[in-house]
Every structure is written in C-alpha cells, then in structure tokens.
Structure 1
Amino acid sequence: MKIRQTFAFIALAIGANLAVATFAWKSQFLALFQTEHAIVTSFIIAVVLFIPFVFTFTQLGLNSAEGETPSPETKRRLKLLSSQCSMWPVTWYSALGFIGFSWLAFFLVGDIVNPFFAMSAALASLSGSWFLFVYPVARRLFKDFPNNTA
C-alpha cells in the first residue's frame, strides 16, 4: 500500500470518529471527547491532516489567492476535475454540508451536537477523500502545471 493511501485511510478513520463524536460526544462511552482540551486537540489533528491537501491542491493550480476571484484557468481546471472525477464534488460539498448540518442541528437541539467536532471531521475526511479518490485523477490531469512537483 502506498503512503498516500495509508494517509488517506488514517485521515478518513479519524474523520469518521470525529463525525460520530459530533453527535454522540456526550455519551458516557465517549468521555474522552468531553475533556477540557478535546476540541482543540481534535482541531489541531485535523489541521495537520489537512495541510497536505492544501499543499497538493495549490500545487495543481486549483485554488486562487484569498480574496481574489478565481482566474479563468483555475475555473477551467476545477470544471475539468469535476467532470473527470465524480468524487470531487461529492467530497467538497459533503464536507461543507456536514458542517452546515451540524450547526443547524446545534441550533435546533442544543449542545447534544458539537459543530466544532464536525469541522474537524470535515477537514480530516476531505483530506482523506482527496488523497484516496481525487488526487490521483487531479495529478494525471494537471501534471504539466508549472512548478508541479506533486
């Protein structure tokens, strides 16, 4: 198994556990998630898992600078990636949807739901899904991108 796949499975496993913790964090079986620093620790772990996603996403020319509108080339690349890899929109929108749903549930039922764990779950799962399903396609499509060492 490749390092990329191993990383993806680890990120997905952590993301899945944090997704469960989002809705069951008050359970006596998940007392670990009720500790004082659990949210911060889970977020730090998720950010560490998310950094390789950001790095490779940038290397492949799929993002724009913060506050700038995406260039026509970036838009073209994202559209091509979406058409060639059906998992990309699923991966991206499910992460955003999970965060939004957790906040909605938090406002409806209170602190039974923890949207901060949902954010960490989304980051870890997005990174894991990227490296397992999307990155191989993106790398094949955009390997010619200038300065691409991915």
Structure 2
Amino acid sequence: MPEGVVPVKNFNVSRYLGKWYEIARLDHSFERGLSNVTAEYELRSDDGINVINRGFLAEENKWKVAEGKAYFVESRDEGHLKVSFFGPFYGSYIIFDLDKENYQYAFVSGYNTSYLWLLSRTPTVSEDVKERFVKKSKELGFDANGFIFTEQDLAK
C-alpha cells in the first residue's frame, strides 16, 4: 500500500455496488488507448464482488471487457480489497477517499503509486472534485502530471 494511503472506514459495500465511470487514471498497459471506461460491481455468492471493466478501443473500433473478482482484505467495512483478473494473481484495490454521504465519487489506489483512479457515478465530475483528487494525489506521492482524464463521450 502506498505510504500515507489509508483505506476508508465505515465502508458500505451495498452502496458501492453498481456502475462507476472512470474520470481519471494513471497510464498502464491494460487500459492504454481506452476511452469510455466503466467498472461494474455486484455481489458474488461467496461474499466476494464480481468486477466487470469495459472500455472502448477506438483504434480497433471495439469494446474491451475484463471480468474479475474481488474480496475484502480485512473487514467488509474497510475499503481495502484484493482484485484478480488473472487466475490466482491479486492486486490491491484501496478506496482511500469517498463521497461518504452519497457515494458519488471514489479515489482508488493500487498497491503502489503507479496505480490510481478517480471514479464517479456519472460520466463527469465537478472541477472541485477533480482539484481535490489532484491535490490529494500529489500529497500522497502520485505523479499528477501523468493523469489521463478519460473521455466519456459514449456514456449511456
């Protein structure tokens, strides 16, 4: 877990389930070139969470889909999960900031400062939320100059 990144407490998984739009991310190979990225979360029968990530790859004119599963690392009321898209290999999914009143946006980190996302329930967020995301990310050692703000022009 990146230094200073602390998972949110009093996390309510039921309120987090459903569709989220990716507003911003750091660049990494598994999302390179994708726009209109979304993540959908639903409960599994084994107390885990099904994860379905989608993004549009314009150069191939097609949607890319990745399905995975996630499980809480400690307790269900802490925003720290492990997620896998490839067999037994898990990565960290750490919700370190969240609109706790309405669950409208979330700041999510991976296991180090190379992985970071701003997710929203809507295809856009206010400038205030973007500025807060950039400021907090810089304070925690993420490379804010590397942010990719995701196009959401096909949002439904």
Per the normalisation by structure 1, the TM-score is 0.25
Higher relative contact order (CA 8 A, sep 6+): 1
Larger radius of gyration: 1
